[in-house]
Homo-oligomer: A and B are copies of this chain.
């Protein structure tokens, strides 16, 4: 089996994690199988369920198999801020083996399918399969980039720009996991969730969404879907750089293979 065929088979895996890591590194069949086998302990949750609690103990690492989740924090006065949104294939609590206290809350934004993995297994697998270790580190680095972008968004963009920037980011991330069809994004967040992500009131979020609609940038389809009508202009409005999360170049040598 040549490399492109292999890559194809990895991309067809039914594990979102394998598909995602497969876009970053070139996993062997064995590596893909190992990653699959880690995810045997599957849990199903409904919207609103909390599976990691800020300040509580974190005994497992969670792999998102289907659905969306939010990492969030609350001020002492009870206001919620969503730190970042996790999409299928993302990992939460990868650091569980080093710090067994959670520093954020994680909750289901939609119906959720996730697997709870003993964090020691991740360490073990990382030791045995350097490419997986590299992939996981790559993941961590990407999370870092996304958090940086979130900071820029909250600190230096207007409400209008924040929404456009966020939608562009989600578009870009969903695109990579083949979940965009003709500009249609299924976003299982309420406007209040969106507001809590963008540091806005839900009322202001509603009004600014309407402006994006009126400007012909997006079209809201029912309660949980948004069609991006003009991704170029959306990126312009939100000052979002479409090339910000590139795949790893397959020709690029992967260092750190030990």
Residues of chain A having any CB pair with chain B under 8 Å: 71, 73, 75-77, 79-81, 83-84, 95, 97-101, 103-104, 119-120, 123-124, 127, 134, 137-138, 140-145, 147-152, 154-157, 196, 198-199, 239, 241, 244, 246, 248, 252, 254-256, 258
Contact = CB atoms under 8 A, between A and B. Distances in A.
B156 A81 contact: yes
Given A80-B156, A199-B155, A71 B148 contact: yes
B149 A147 contact: no
Given A71-B148, A75-B152, A258-B127, A134 B83 contact: no
7 interchain residue pairs of minimum CB distance: A155-B199, A95-B141, A154-B154, A103-B145, A81-B155, A76-B239, A97-B256
Q: Tell me how many chains of this kind the complex includes.
A: 2
A156 to B, nearest CB: 5
A241 B74 CA distance: 12
**Among A80, A98, A143, A244, residue most surrounded by chain B Cβ atoms (within 10 Å):** A98
A148 B239 contact: no
Contacts of A79: 156
A154 B151 contact: yes
Contacts of A141: 95, 98-99, 103
Given A97-B256, A103-B145, A150-B151, 11 more contacts: A80-B156, A95-B138, A97-B255, A98-B255, A103-B141, A104-B145, A104-B148, A123-B258, A127-B258, A154-B154, A154-B199
Contacts of A252: 100
Contacts of A97: 137, 255-256
Contacts of A239: 75-77
Given A81-B156, A95-B140, A150-B151, A255 B73 contact: no
Contacts of A137: 95, 97-98
A73 B119 contact: no
